Structure 1
Amino acid sequence: MTTIISGTNREGSNTLKLAEYYHRQLSERGFDSEILSLCELPGDLIKSDLYGKRSEAFQSIQEKISASSKFIFVIPEYNGSFPGVLKTFIDACTFPESFFGKKAALVGLSSGKYGNIRGIDHFTGICHYINMHVLPLRIHIPNIRKEFDENGDLFNEDTVKFTNQQIERFIEF
């Protein structure tokens, strides 16, 4: 199973829109995936699911992660890196089996002009530490507010070209 992780708990985010776009693109190619929005995390995650604790609310999320062999992380830029809730989520998952030896593609986005280059680099380091295999083609989408059409699809020619390349390589990965 492939899980697309929308890497923020911000309601109505462009990150979730981009995760949904990737989900549709994979589906059009006959490749099954599911989206996990970090909005689904328990509100008390820091108290309920760290340091060996496991809440009932997080258990279904953990099961989805455990059943996944591939991930697409869609990660917005927060303060020159990635959201702290994404790191907390990784920390809450059972270590090492949640991610060990599994495959990941990374997609960065920002409202600014760099597409979360630094955050994707930071997150790549974490992926390597937890022994994930990261697809070398990492995507950075700047000015995300100008990338979607009225249907929630990407329309900028270069962005569509590079996301299509990443999706095709991810399927083969």
Structure 2
Amino acid sequence: MVTIISGTNRPSSNTLKVAKYYQRTLKLKGLETHLFNLEDLPPTLISSDLYGKRSPEFEAIQEMIMKTTKFLFIIPEYNGSFPGVLKTFIDACNFPDSFYDKKAALVGVSSGKYGNIRGIDHFGGVCSYLHLNVLPLRLHIATIRMELDEQGNLFKEDTLKFTDQQMDKFIAF
């Protein structure tokens, strides 16, 4: 199973729009994916789902993670890095089984001009610790508000070129 993770719990985020764009485009390329939005994390994540205690809601999420062999993380920039909720989600998953020797691709998004370069680098360090093998082509989509049309599609020529290239490499990875 391939799972796309929208790396924030912010409602109506551009991150989710990009995740849905990737899902639609990968389907056109013949790859079915599952989209997991961190908005769907249980509200008890911090109080009961960390450190071995598990709610039934998180058990279902853990099962989905265990079945996943490839992840595509869409990660917004939060304070020069990646969202804390993404790290908390990773921490709540079973270690090391959840991510060990699986594959991932990383896409950074930001409203600024660097496309979350630093956050993707930080998250890459977490992936290394988890033994999560990361596709070398990491994308950084800057000024995200100017990259999406009204339907939530990326439309700029260079962005389309590089996202298409990354998706093709991800499928073959």
Q: TM-score, length-normalised on structure 2? A: 0.99
CA distance in 2, matches of 1:84, 1:149: 28
Look up the SS of the partner of 1:80 in the other structure. Answer: coil
CA distance in 1, matches of 2:99, 2:65: 8
Equivalent residue for 1:20? 20
Amino acid aligned to 2:125: G
CA distance in 1, matches of 2:144, 2:87: 22
Equivalent residue for 1:153? 153
Q: Percent identity at matched positions?
A: 66
CA distance in 1, matches of 2:94, 2:153: 34
Amino acid aligned to 1:155: F
1:124 aligns with 2:139: no
Look up the SS of the partner of 1:136 in the other structure. Answer: coil
How far 1:44 moved relative to its partner?
2.0
- For the Cα contact (< 8 Å) 2:75–2:120, is it kept in 1? yes
Equivalent residue for 2:144? 144
How far 1:17 moved relative to its partner?
0.2
Q: Structure 1 unaligned runs (5+)?
A: none
Amino acid aligned to 2:132: M
Equivalent residue for 1:100? 100
Q: How many residues align?
A: 173
Question: CA RMSD, aligned part only?
Answer: 0.5
Amino acid aligned to 2:165: Q
How far 1:48 moved relative to its partner?
1.2
Equivalent residue for 1:2? 2
CA distance in 1, matches of 2:34, 2:17: 14
Look up the SS of the partner of 1:108 in the other structure. Answer: strand
- Which whole-Å deviations, capped at 9, do the CAs of 1:124-155 have from their partners, x for residues lacking one? 00000000100000000000001111221100
Amino acid aligned to 1:35: L
- Which whole-Å deviations, capped at 9, do the CAs of 1:53-111 have from their partners, x for residues lacking one? 11111111111100000000000000000000000000000111100000000000000
How far 1:164 moved relative to its partner?
0.3
Q: Structure 2 unaligned runs (5+)?
A: none
Equivalent residue for 1:71? 71
